Amino acid sequence: MTADLIDGKAFAATLRARIAGQVAALKADHGITPGLAVVLVGEDPASSVYVRSKGKATAEVGMRGFAHRLPAGTPQQELLDLIARLNADEAVNGILVQLPLPRHMDEAAVINAIAPEKDVDGFTVLNAGRLATGQKAMVPCTPLGCLMLLRDRLGSVSGKDALVIGRSNIVGKPMAQLLLADSATVTVAHSRTRGLPDLCRRADIVVAAVGRARFVQGDWIKPGATVIDVGINRTDDGLTGDVDFAAAREVAGAITPVPGGVGPMTIACLLANTLTATARVHGLSDPEGLTP
Ligand code: NAD
């Protein structure tokens, strides 16, 4: 059996077109244009690429983008002052501080300075806590994108055995919370997990967010399982996921490629979150199909 490809690129393009339509309607009906502020500290080349593509994506759906670039040596207080200004700025509905931050900064303190209603990355403790307790939250973009792909493929994940490999605050933990909220039976594996191949062989859904090229082997996959590969690893052969794609594809029912799977969903979900944040701050109902 050869698995179906889950085309995240095509799904994300459809999602962005839908968001562009919703943004246009928001402008026409209420005179509101969503605005996203992206803050980059330092000159990390990968981060610069992400920030540029976020700016471009914002413009493409008709939102306003505000880019703030600060030198690597910026004192933390200056960044906090900028965040305070963005929190107070009515033209700004979403604030994203590109991670990682330079070492002299306290990442948690910076992230938690973002007003929760503008926290389009969903990384503040308040939004993480809301997600964990089943309250309306801003949900981290990458796991939200994975959930959308899973629902599209499976209809419902209810009752399914889901294995999330990785426990980061950015991907693994919120992914597990989203699957749990959708009534999957969730296992979270991490660097100290024993017997990972056998855990994986039981899973109807595998979400790999490890950061190690081709880490998940083809013979760990349950026949027919749905495999979501979050990993982005730069290798001599180019970009590679956390799953041995060629081998897993022979066993799985459906699998995301890298590139072209989860990656494009992340930016689309950032736009989705910005639109959701805009609607909420104006007391409007959540836009259709963009929240978990
Ligand atoms: P991270 O380094 O913060 O977390 C990696 C996790 O993998 C940790 O929780 C660790 O416990 C676990 N792990 C490490 N070794 C393991 C092992 N041997 N067995 C089981 N688990 C192990 O990384 P992250 O930020 O969660 O990102 C994970 C991957 O996803 C990276 O490749 C990153 O580039 C990618 N990523 C992609 C997107 C996207 O948009 N597609 C977004 C975010 C992250």
Predicted confidence (pLDDT) per residue in 78-94, tens digit: 999 999 999 999 999 99
Give domain status of residue 89, yes or no. Answer: yes
With the most atoms of ligand 1 within 8 angstroms of its CB, the residue from 217, 230, 262, 265 to mutate is 230
Active site residue 76: no
Ligand 1 mean position to 176 CA, how many Å?
13
Q: Are residues 147 and 221 in the same domain?
A: yes
Q: Tell which atom from ligand 1 comes closest to the C-alpha of 261.
A: 41
Average pLDDT over residues 209-230: 98
* Options 22, 54, 173, 222, the catalytic residue: 54
pLDDT of 1 over the 80 cut: no
Q: Are residues 146 and 249 in the same domain?
A: yes
Q: Is the pTM of this model over 0.95?
A: yes
pLDDT of 82 reads 98
User: Where do the DSSP E strands lie in the chain?
Assistant: 4-5, 35-41, 64-70, 94-97, 161-165, 185-189, 205-208, 226-229, 233-235, 238-240, 254-255
pLDDT of 178 reads 98
pLDDT of 263 over the 90 cut: yes
Q: Are residues 256 and 146 in the same domain?
A: yes
Q: Are residues 259 and 192 in the same domain?
A: yes
Give domain status of residue 56, yes or no. Answer: yes
Active site residue 9: no
Average pLDDT over residues 57-73: 97
Average pLDDT over residues 23-40: 98
**57 falls in which pLDDT band (50, 70, 90)?**
very high
Domain coverage including residue 65: 31-115
Give domain status of residue 256, yes or no. Answer: yes
Q: Are residues 156 and 224 in the same domain?
A: yes
pLDDT of 33 reads 98
3-state helix, strand and coil shares in percent for the chain, rounded to the nearest 5: 45, 15, 40
With the most atoms of ligand 1 within 8 angstroms of its CB, the residue from 190, 193, 215 to mutate is 190
Give domain status of residue 278, yes or no. Answer: no
